[in-house]
Amino acid sequence: MYSPVEARYFHELLISIFRSAHVTPVYSQYLSQVQGILALVCRGANDNPALHALLKCLPERMP
Where are the alpha helices (H) located in 1-63, listed in sequence order? 8-20, 34-42, 49-57
Tell me the sheet residues that pair with 31: 2
Predicted pLDDT at 36: 72
- The pLDDT value given to residue 24: 85
pLDDT tens digits along 17-56: 888 888 888 887 777 877 776 666 665 555 666 666 766 7
Structural domain boundaries enclosing 41:
8-57
Alpha-carbon distances, residue 23 vs 17, 39, 44, 56, 63 (angstroms):
9, 23, 20, 12, 29
Residue 3 lies inside a defined structural domain of this protein: no
Domain annotation covers residue 1: no
Structural domain contains residue 45: yes
Residue 2 lies in a domain: no
Q: What gap in Å lies between CA 10 and CA 1, rounded to an integer?
A: 9
How many structural domains compose the chain?
1
CA dihedral for 31, 36, 41, 46, sign (positive or negative):
negative
Question: Which residues partner with 2 through β-bridges?
Answer: 31
Q: Is 24 inside any structural domain? A: yes
How confident is the model at residue 41, as a pLDDT? 65
Judge whether 62 lies within some domain: no
* Per-residue confidence band for 7, with pLDDT thresholds at 50, 70 and 90: confident
Instruction: Confirm whether 52 is domain-assigned.
Output: yes
The reported pLDDT for the residue numbered 5 is: 83
**pTM, two decimal places:** 0.55
